[in-house]
């Protein structure tokens, strides 16, 4: 990928210019990564999207069906600028210098923040919708989230759930996945905070009530080398415990679609309670 600072002539004399203001209703939107793709496809019409990221139709893209037929662009400076966007939306696309570069070139950038909890997901949704000139659509999706969350809160408390990926990692408190498990009615089997390898020693003598298995049906997140998920103790959890299969697209980005994963968990039974 060519560095974003590789077109100095295009930026001559504008290094000190203020960040450009986005139009109230942008009509030439370019998305730089698949997380941003989801918001563009959900909240604006296809006629206002000039290009999506190259991964817009990948299996880990939640809105992949809606992305069919929409042009894509690599997150490279010259490829994006030639499209003459009036707004670029991004989460991480183009790397850390992309937003500053585009703004110096006179292109407004809508930066999607990272949500650490479900409330943050809702807040980000509303903010992004406003930046795209579609506050009404954002409010409607937020209201749908509220109704689904209210129904989840009325569900019964369940046992312990272990989040597991083919890469052999899980996560504890302080992450969006941890909140997903709790909103779904479970406590997190992983006691340590943050992202960590599967606790194989503990799993050898103590198991969860449910395994939340993510990305196992996807072509992504499958390491070529050994991982903790290949250990016999980990495989036994997938064989002997109830498993809730979580689509990678539900959890790959922290968007409103995380509720699909939470609802799948909430429907899961624990030993002695049925399916």
Largest CA distance in the chain: 70
Helix count and strand count (H, E) for the chain: 10, 10
pLDDT digits (tens, 9 = 90+) for 2-58: 555 444 434 444 455 677 877 788 999 999 999 999 999 999 999 999 999 999 999
Sorted by sequence, the CB contacts under 8 Å of residue 264 that are 6+ apart come out as: 184, 244, 245, 246, 250
Q: Where are the domains of the chain?
A: 10-112, 156-267
State the sign of the Cα–Cα–Cα–Cα dihedral 202, 204, 206, 209.
Answer: positive
Rounded (10°) CA dihedral 250, 252, 257, 260: 20
Same fold for the pair 10-112 and 156-267 = yes
* Tokens found for residue 17: 């210019």
Q: Are strands 169-171 and 195-197 parallel, antiparallel or unpaired?
A: antiparallel
pTM given for the model: 0.85
- The answer to whether 48 and 22 are in contact (CB under 8 A) is no
State the fold for domain 156-267. Answer: Rossmann fold (3.40.50)
CB count within 10 Å of CB 20 equals 17
Which residue in 118, 110, 81, 111 sits closest to 259, CA to CA?
118
Sorted by sequence, the CB contacts under 8 Å of residue 99 that are 6+ apart come out as: 90, 109, 111
| Residue showing tokens 């790959």 | 252
The CATH class of the 10-112 domain is alpha beta
pLDDT digits (tens, 9 = 90+) for 83-136: 999 999 999 999 989 989 999 999 999 999 988 899 999 999 999 999 999 999
């Amino acid at each position: 990928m060519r560095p974003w600072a590789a077109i100095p002539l295009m930026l001559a004399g504008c290094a000190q210019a203020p960040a450009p203001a986005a139009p109230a209703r942008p009509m030439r939107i370019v998305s730089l990564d698949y997380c941003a793709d989801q918001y563009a496809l959900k909240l604006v019409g296809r006629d206002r999207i000039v290009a999506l990221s190259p991964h817009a139709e990948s299996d880990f893209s939640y809105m992949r069906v809606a992305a069919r037929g929409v042009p894509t662009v690599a997150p490279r400076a010259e490829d994006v600028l030639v499209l003459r966007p009036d707004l670029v939306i991004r989460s991480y696309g183009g790397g850390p210098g992309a937003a500053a570069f585009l703004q110096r070139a006179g292109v407004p950038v809508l930066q999607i923040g990272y949500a650490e909890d479900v409330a943050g997901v809702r807040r980000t949704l509303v903010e992004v919708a406003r930046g795209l000139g579609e506050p009404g659509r954002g409010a409607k999706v937020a209201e749908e989230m509220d109704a689904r969350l209210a129904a989840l809160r009325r569900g019964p408390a369940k046992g312990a759930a272990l989040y597991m990926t083919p890469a052999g990692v899980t996560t504890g408190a302080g992450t969006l996945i941890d909140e997903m498990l709790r909103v779904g009615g479970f406590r997190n089997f992983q006691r340590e905070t943050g992202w960590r390898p599967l606790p194989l020693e503990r799993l050898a003598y103590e198991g969860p009530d449910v395994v939340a298995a993510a990305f196992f049906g996807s072509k992504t997140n499958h390491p070529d080398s050994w991982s903790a998920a290949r250990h016999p103790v980990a495989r036994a959890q997938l064989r002997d415990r109830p498993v809730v299969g979580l689509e990678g697209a539900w959890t790959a980005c922290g968007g409103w679609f995380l509720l699909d994963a939470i609802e799948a968990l909430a429907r899961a039974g624990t030993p002695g309670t049925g399916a």
